Structure 1
Amino acid sequence: MTAPKRKKARANGEGTIYQRNDGRWEAAGYVLAADGSRKRVRVYGTTRREAADKLTEKIADSNRGLPVASADSTVGDYLTYWLNGVAVHRLRENTHTRYATCVRLHLTPGLGAKKIARLTAKDVRTFLDRLRSTCQCCTQNLDAGPKRCCAIGECCQKHLSPSTVTYVHSVLKSALEHAVREDDLPRNVARNVKTITPRPRRFRPLTTAEARRFLDAARADRLHTLYELALRTGLRKGELLGLQWEDLDLTTGTATIRRSLQRTRTGGLAHLPTKTRASDRRIALPDECIHSLKGHKDRQDKDRETAGPDWKGTGLVFTTPTGGPLDPANLTRRFRGFLDRAGLRHIRFHDLRHSTATLLLEQGVDLIVIKELLGHAHIGVTAGVYAHVRLRLQRQAIDTLGDVLGPTDDDPRDPPAASVVR
């Protein structure tokens, strides 16, 4: 009788590899986790070799001292790993800060103790339902001071908005999607949870009459050219503040948008790439803006002479009196003050951009032209944001057709007149 062939012993540290009931191969071993401890990690593959190679790669990273996400980790540990090891390299700093705040305030308190491998769609749905119905003032102890609702035991019912709940859900989906791509999880359970799409933020763009009043009042303001450029071109606040004279060609009447001035938590005021690849664009300047920019250049030259050696020389189009960059927050405050002095309706600075698109749509400008002017990544964004305008234009078109097809005294038995349809 022939003795059964013994399986080759695995090398120390190779881990465990076996075939699952669903046909896939699973490999498991111990690696350095995000919290500094050693935890068991699982990876998956369609073949034994694929699973073994993935596990070998993770063990090698662990041996080099790099934390590795583990399916046996808690959701909180995995989110920490994802924020600090993955998202930080892929997101703009301000976006990463918002993600981190979302994780700290909502995801970690609500799901952080749950094992990520055991997280279910029901867990996620229950968490989101609880997030909608729980007073955040009480949960986060925001009113801990004397005579505040948390201190006296009275709930103020301060709930998260639907858009914030949707944002929390999207951050969780992004983190789990990365776990799926790295084969740490077999599926993204957060994608199986459907949330109610929040209604888009309602805004009241300037009407034609209000826009004229706005431009008339702006002529007396030091930032007249900035306000006019914002309303006539729809540029974002950061794009306006990051605009440099070398980006303008006042002879041909064009502007190249290639950067945005933003305040970041670590770097202060910084020039960053535009919001999306589509935002990096070249636009035509209206004649009125070209004239205003030439006058603005002359005034800036006088400011340079007045400042003398204190002039900073940033090359920016819109600056402080000494040539330094304008802080976006300061511009917002100045804009509010301008509206008050001019007796104009209060709007956000970003509503100037909405006003540009709305006024263009009402004049019958094609949606694709507006998309390119605004620098939207997809035309669906443009169409979605300004759906209310398109519906109003549809109503006008239908009413016009109704006038044409209104009651008539013609005998219905008369044959229709011949016509040529092209």
Structure 2
Amino acid sequence: MRSSIFQTADGRWVGFVTMGIRPDGSVDRRKRTAPTRADVTRKVRLLEQQRAEASAVPAGRSPRLEDWLRDWLVATALRVRPSTLSGYRVDVDTHIVPAIGKHRLLALEPEHIEHLYTELAAKGLAPGSVHHVRRTLNKALNDALRRRRIVRNPVTLAHTPRYDPPEIEPLTVAEARRLLAAAEDERNGVAFMLAISLGLRRGEVLGLSWKDVELDAGRLHVRKQLERRNWRHGCVSPIDCEESAAKCPQRKDGGLVLSELKTKQSRRTLPLPEPLVRALRRHRQAQREAQIHAGSVWHDSGLVFTNTVGRPVAPRDHSVHWTEFLERVGVRPARLHDARHTAATLLLVQGVDQRVVMGMFGWTSPAMTTRYQHVVPELAEEASRRMTTALWGEGVAEGSAR
């Protein structure tokens, strides 16, 4: 594909560069003008370089950012989980589009991205939420870059707001034992036991079916997870519907649903310690008695953990139950997910092979182990005892321990 440069009758210089073929099949031939031959030559060479690097954007006017994001959400729905897509939609509709959505995609600059961050902070959005917005916009613009709609991603050039993730403090061994002892007398308390001892995620625990639990063999299979999805309109014309999607008479695809796990590695089989087997047997018997008591209103979901009429336990209700449980037992406040951190930490610091822990927790990257390997007080004390022994001898170490 050859380029051409010539001078017009009015003395200006013109260059034409054939870049390729447009989506409609026509030739993408671009024109550049300049007052001198040297200037137009530089412009022509730049286009030729972009063509060679396959970095030239398609012909035609660049779309607005809001239009690109709408199309991106439609395409992204084909490859991400509904809960992930829901988070993207909130970021796009509530935060990104109102602030910078009118900019043309090609005209988007790092300063515009920084303006977005400033607006979000001024509205009082938490730093973690601002970073979630940044990740969403970065993903969308990376896709635009791969499809040659832009020549560089301005998110990577903009200054990123400071964000210090909250410090995670796993439960101590004493706290974990205290909770395990108390959980046996708690309704659905075995769910907490599974989180503390096996590190199951909240959705994985609540998505367990009895067919996934082999009590005689002493193992369980993690195959599904329970999640709450946003409702979608089921009516013919959502625009004409007078109700929101959640209240639409024909709403669909929302509520509590059993869904596939996030990754293939998340599907796993775990051995059940004997105390958990006994606790699950007692829990199954209690559930059978609850079914008899509920009678005809019982909903046979087949789930291990249900409410009083056999329906799934809402994830948020389960977290509230956990918070109230900690308060009753007298254990400091902690997130339910901290129970997973506790299980991972105790396994790693006891020398369990990293690959085994990865398999048990359904991790895809070894880097995840460093996020979960915390220094709990008992380990710090043991490390101090060993250092004392090494430096001053066994007798001094025993004395310091007392």
Aligned to 1:222: 187
Aligned to 2:46: 22
Q: Secondary structure at the match of 2:269?
A: strand
Q: Could you say if the C-alpha distance between residues 87 and 232 of structure 1 is closer, same or farther in structure 2, counting changes exceeding 3 Å?
A: same
Aligned to 1:203: 168
The sequence identity of aligned pairs, in percent, is 32
The aligned runs of 1:23-422 (5 Å cut-off) are 24=48, 72-83=62-73, 85-128=74-117, 130-131=118-119, 134-136=121-123, 159-193=124-158, 195=160, 198-266=163-231, 267-386=254-373, 388-389=374-375, 397=383, 400-401=386-387, 403-405=389-391
Q: Could you say if the C-alpha distance between residues 391 and 189 of structure 1 is closer, same or farther in structure 2, counting changes exceeding 3 Å?
A: farther
- 1-structure distance, mates of 2:366, 2:162: 19
Q: Could you say if the C-alpha distance between residues 51 and 90 of structure 1 is closer, same or farther in structure 2, counting changes exceeding 3 Å?
A: same
Q: Could you say if the C-alpha distance between residues 108 and 337 of structure 1 is closer, same or farther in structure 2, counting changes exceeding 3 Å?
A: same
- The answer to whether the 8 Å contact 1:131/1:165 transfers is no
- Greater RCO structure (CA 8 Å; 6+ sep): 2
- The answer to whether the 8 Å contact 1:71/1:185 transfers is no
Shift of 1:362: 4.0
- The answer to whether the 8 Å contact 1:124/1:193 transfers is yes
Shift of 1:385: 3.7
Between 1:275-284 and 1:171-180, the stretch displaced more is 275-284
Between 1:273-282 and 1:119-128, the stretch displaced more is 119-128
The alignment yields a C-alpha RMSD, in angstroms, of 3.4
Q: Could you say if the C-alpha distance between residues 201 and 276 of structure 1 is closer, same or farther in structure 2, counting changes exceeding 3 Å?
A: farther
- The answer to whether the 8 Å contact 2:229/2:257 transfers is yes
Q: Could you say if the C-alpha distance between residues 160 and 203 of structure 1 is closer, same or farther in structure 2, counting changes exceeding 3 Å?
A: same
| Partner amino acid, structure 2, of 1:124 | I
- The answer to whether the 8 Å contact 1:71/1:116 transfers is no
Question: Structure 1: which 5+ runs fail to align?
Answer: 1-9, 27-43, 56-69, 137-158, 408-422
| Partner amino acid, structure 2, of 1:199 | D
- The answer to whether the 8 Å contact 2:224/2:259 transfers is yes
Shift of 1:402: 6.1
Question: Structure 2: which 5+ runs fail to align?
Answer: 1-20, 32-43, 232-253, 394-402
- The answer to whether the 8 Å contact 1:234/1:374 transfers is yes
| Partner amino acid, structure 1, of 2:174 | A
- 2-structure distance, mates of 1:363, 1:252: 26
- The answer to whether the 8 Å contact 1:207/1:359 transfers is no
- The answer to whether the 8 Å contact 1:71/1:117 transfers is no
- 2-structure distance, mates of 1:81, 1:207: 48
- 2-structure distance, mates of 1:278, 1:183: 33
Shift of 1:16: 3.6
| Partner amino acid, structure 2, of 1:404 | A
Q: Secondary structure at the match of 1:325?
A: coil
Aligned to 2:247: none
Q: Secondary structure at the match of 2:77?
A: helix
- 2-structure distance, mates of 1:51, 1:161: 38
- 2-structure distance, mates of 1:15, 1:392: 71
Q: Structure 2 length normalisation: TM-score?
A: 0.74
| Partner amino acid, structure 1, of 2:285 | D
- The answer to whether the 8 Å contact 1:238/1:328 transfers is yes
- 2-structure distance, mates of 1:71, 1:112: 16
Aligned to 1:410: none
Shift of 1:108: 1.4
Q: Structure 1 length normalisation: TM-score?
A: 0.71
| Partner amino acid, structure 2, of 1:120 | E
Q: Can you list the C-alpha shifts for 1:253-289, whole angstroms capped at 9, x where unaligned?
A: 2211111101111110111111333212111111111
- The answer to whether the 8 Å contact 1:313/1:323 transfers is yes
Q: Could you say if the C-alpha distance between residues 81 and 367 of structure 1 is closer, same or farther in structure 2, counting changes exceeding 3 Å?
A: same
Q: Could you say if the C-alpha distance between residues 119 and 298 of structure 1 is closer, same or farther in structure 2, counting changes exceeding 3 Å?
A: same
| Partner amino acid, structure 2, of 1:179 | A
Shift of 1:333: 2.4
Shift of 1:317: 0.9
- The answer to whether the 8 Å contact 1:304/1:322 transfers is yes
Aligned to 1:411: none
Shift of 1:310: 3.0
Equivalenced residue count is 340
- The answer to whether the 8 Å contact 1:244/1:315 transfers is yes
